[in-house]
Structure 1
Amino acid sequence: MSETNFDKLASQPILLQANRVWRTYSGGKLIDQWQGNDHPEDSSFPEEWVASVVKATNVGREHIQDEGLSTIKLTDGTEVTLQEVTDSNPEAFLGKTHVEKHGSHTAVLVKLLDSSERLTIQVHPDREFAQTMFNSQFGKTEAWYVIGGRQIDGEEPYVLFGFKPGMTAEKWKELFEQQDIPGMIDALHRIPVREGEVYLVEGGVPHAIGIGCFLIEIQEPTDYTLRTEKVTPRGNIVPDQACHQGLGFENMLNCFHYDAYSLEQIKDKWFIAPTQLQETAGGSLRALIKETDTDRFTMNRLTVVSEYAYENDGTFAIAIVVQGKGKLLWGSEEISIKQGNTFFLPASLSSVKWISTDESPLEVILCYPPKP
């Protein structure tokens, strides 16, 4: 594919191919339903990675070279990775100021996640730890926007989040070495989750997404996950390498921040209240994650009842059509859109118009990289 044809993509919304990724836990039925797939079911592919230029780190699946990378189907039917496209002209696709800061890297990763079992208790590195131990400019601070959920075996959706008061590094190490999983679970706050809630999960904070959660996750662009459980809730063995990512268990335990908080303190520190940005007769725009919440990414929710004009600010966006159907217009061109579609909106695309053609509003999540 010539660079000229890639350049043409820089002036239009780019429809992304479905991109399911293998994980150590099960789920994905709600993603299947959301995408309109036949025979929705839970499996070992519980995540959809959106606009990803990050390869998944899955022990035992290293032979799958491009697992995790998002692809685009060209008009001639061939597929190329999003990374190939953005590499062809980084400023056109990512924006000049973004490239000055991050080069040809998008500096962000977005996922949809549906859990039919609790994930293992884990931690992600902050930037300092990632730089020292992984030689990476990015850690893995992330945020969750809950878009749904389900009751499974009588349990409502929940997350485990943050150490309770009284936890110390010594106590946590003892729980880990004994593989006292009930003790580790009890050391974290169990928090019911509801649709529309937003949680910021900074690097170093212990957590585990519980059963029945359906959410959008925006994060720094790495797959660094350190796990303290050697057996998953459904009984699968987690290899040591998958626990410590090659760092060894001592370094893994050093990744945790051992600050302990009450539930009220956690809510004050890491629960984010959406704020209204703009409202018109045709729709509204709300900030889910703002620059004042974190410097790693931002996220907005667009609700369209008739039509809404979106103006670009010189950087790219990642768009997820959460519900509804309609049209996406740019210049003299348009494309039909529906729930489950995901798009990369290049920096060179100056403006688009979202139009709802359904009785129910068109809901779109817009995800952005860190501000330069």
Structure 2
Amino acid sequence: MKDYSAQPLKLRKNRVWRTYYGGRSIDEWQGASAPEDSSMPEEWIASVVRARNAGREQLVEGLSLVELDGADGPELKQLIEAEPAKFLGERHTAAYGSQTGVLVKALDSAERLTIQAHPDRSTAQRIFSSPFGKTEAWYILGGREIGGELPYILYGFKPGMTREKWEKLFWEQDIEGMIHALHKIPVEPGQVFIVEGGMPHAIGSGCFLIEIQEPTDFTIRVERTTPAGREIPEFMLHQGAGFERMFDCFRYDTYTLEDVLAQFRLSPRTIQESEEYTERSLISYATTPYFALTSLDIRSSCTIRQEDGFSILVVAQGAGSLAWGKECLQVTQGDQLFLPAGVTELQCERIGDEPLQLLRCFPPSVSP
């Protein structure tokens, strides 16, 4: 097989079935001719993780394919597993083997997601025998009004909540009680939220965002039926942990709204600025060691450099060209790329009048 570890790898579109409806904004973002909401509301980017969907186990959903000459190439997972150090870097491979340690998604909700939480690493190890939990973070790309309501999230327990009360709300299926137990927060493009393992939350209707997370699909849901009326199988509630242990996955700390906004809504920070481009840190390793995210707003051009490591690029807006050595690749809004460790330098240039924004996603921090 040809060595692909020294070139950017463009990835095929990779929509995944979920329990909620949405995806029209992703269709529009990717230039689809007939955008619509459906049961495929998520785009999984640079994924080496299979989706956990009860009743669809026979389907291989979630794994990213490399695009070669406009057609389906091999799975990204296969390429990495064949030569992990060349694709991921020596230090990362020493720490994580052939696992990238990160998963990126584009997500668009036409309805509120069911209230949920994800296990932190220690809980995931204890309950699911997984070295990874599912701490995640959201970068809001946009949104739309649905049913007269603007985009929002539900986040964090209000003062007074306890495990006993939360379990009671679940067994009674008191959905309104669950909703009112969490803070409702309007969201706007450009905002960033960190969602640590154990934090109760739900993405509201009308949210279009990029999610970066640990590489698992462990989602503990407390609603037996989605807002649109879809019944959720028991496995999708507790993920095989059982009803007693599923509540171990929630963190029962409580917060005022001011606490939530101060601690978990992040403030982007400018790293570099010139006439050619601005680079901002959206999520840093100081916030979480599990991943990082930066934004490159390119007015004319910039150079991406890597040293013994890989990253993932998402073209959030605009169009451009990416050049390495004597080769060049044109990209446009909605495109997604994996940059193997062998790509040590990449020249990025804007094409056209629209601003070019690249989101660069990084794996877990690895100590030197």
Q: TM tier, shorter chain?
A: over 0.9
The residue that corresponds to 1:356 in the other structure is 350
- Give the fraction of aligned pairs with identical amino acids, expressed as a percent: 51
The residue that corresponds to 2:269 in the other structure is 275
Superposed CA deviations along residues 144-171 of structure 1, whole A, max 9, x for unmatched, are 0000000011000000000000001111
Q: CA deviation at 1:136?
A: 0.3
Equivalent residues in 2 for 1:209-358, closer than 5 Å? 209-358=203-352
Q: 1:53 aligns with which of 42, 48, 51?
A: 48
Equivalent residues in 2 for 1:29-48, closer than 5 Å? 29-48=24-43
Is contact 2:321-2:349 (8 Å) kept? yes
Is contact 1:198-1:288 (8 Å) kept? yes
Is contact 2:46-2:337 (8 Å) kept? yes
Superposed CA deviations along residues 331-353 of structure 1, whole A, max 9, x for unmatched, are 11111111011000011101001
For this pair of structures, how many residues does the alignment match? 366
Whether 2:123 is the aligned partner of 1:129: answer: yes
The residue that corresponds to 1:67 in the other structure is 61
Q: 1:14 aligns with which of 9, 12, 27?
A: 9
Equivalent residues in 2 for 1:109-120, closer than 5 Å? 109-120=103-114
Flag structure 2 segments of 5+ consecutive residues without an equivalent: none
- Give the Cα–Cα distance (whole angstroms) in 2 for the partners of residues 125 and 39 of structure 1: 37
Superposed CA deviations along residues 281-324 of structure 1, whole A, max 9, x for unmatched, are 21011000001000100000001011111111321110000111
Evaluate the alpha carbon distance shift between residue 78 and residue 288 of structure 1 in structure 2; reply closer, same or farther with a 3 A threshold.
Answer: closer
- Give the Cα–Cα distance (whole angstroms) in 2 for the partners of residues 277 and 345 of structure 1: 21
Is contact 1:163-1:258 (8 Å) kept? yes
Q: TM-score, normalised by structure 1?
A: 0.97
- Give the Cα–Cα distance (whole angstroms) in 2 for the partners of residues 256 and 156 of structure 1: 27
Q: CA deviation at 1:120?
A: 0.2
Flag structure 1 segments of 5+ consecutive residues without an equivalent: none
- Give the Cα–Cα distance (whole angstroms) in 2 for the partners of residues 358 and 341 of structure 1: 16
Q: Alpha carbon RMSD of aligned pairs, Å?
A: 0.9
- Give the Cα–Cα distance (whole angstroms) in 1 for the partners of residues 307 and 201 of structure 2: 34
Is contact 2:81-2:98 (8 Å) kept? yes
Evaluate the alpha carbon distance shift between residue 76 and residue 290 of structure 1 in structure 2; reply closer, same or farther with a 3 A threshold.
Answer: closer
Is contact 2:302-2:347 (8 Å) kept? yes
Q: 2:364 aligns with which of 349, 367, 370?
A: 370
Equivalent residues in 2 for 1:179-190, closer than 5 Å? 179-190=173-184
Evaluate the alpha carbon distance shift between residue 76 and residue 68 of structure 1 in structure 2; reply closer, same or farther with a 3 A threshold.
Answer: closer
Is contact 2:12-2:72 (8 Å) kept? no
- Give the Cα–Cα distance (whole angstroms) in 2 for the partners of residues 356 and 69 of structure 1: 30
Superposed CA deviations along residues 143-200 of structure 1, whole A, max 9, x for unmatched, are 0000000001100000000000000111111111100000000000000000000000
Q: TM-score, normalised by structure 2?
A: 0.98
Q: 1:87 aligns with which of 67, 71, 81?
A: 81
Superposed CA deviations along residues 192-227 of structure 1, whole A, max 9, x for unmatched, are 000000000000000000000000000000000000
Equivalent residue letter for 1:102 = Y
Q: CA deviation at 1:74?
A: 3.0
Whether 2:100 is the aligned partner of 1:106: answer: yes
- Give the Cα–Cα distance (whole angstroms) in 1 for the partners of residues 67 and 206 of structure 2: 32
Question: After alignment, is 70-79 or 229-238 more displaced?
Answer: 70-79
The residue that corresponds to 2:144 in the other structure is 150
- Give the Cα–Cα distance (whole angstroms) in 2 for the partners of residues 165 and 287 of structure 1: 32
Is contact 1:328-1:354 (8 Å) kept? yes
Is contact 1:91-1:99 (8 Å) kept? yes
Evaluate the alpha carbon distance shift between residue 286 and residue 90 of structure 1 in structure 2; reply closer, same or farther with a 3 A threshold.
Answer: same
Q: CA deviation at 1:365?
A: 0.3
Question: After alignment, is 241-250 or 102-111 more displaced?
Answer: 241-250
Is contact 1:305-1:360 (8 Å) kept? no
Superposed CA deviations along residues 218-249 of structure 1, whole A, max 9, x for unmatched, are 00000000000000000010111110011111
Superposed CA deviations along residues 5-25 of structure 1, whole A, max 9, x for unmatched, are 0x2x11111000000000000
- Give the Cα–Cα distance (whole angstroms) in 1 for the partners of residues 239 and 350 of structure 2: 45
Whether 2:192 is the aligned partner of 1:198: answer: yes
- Give the Cα–Cα distance (whole angstroms) in 1 for the partners of residues 300 and 337 of structure 2: 20
- Give the Cα–Cα distance (whole angstroms) in 1 for the partners of residues 278 and 19 of structure 2: 38
Q: CA deviation at 1:108?
A: 0.2
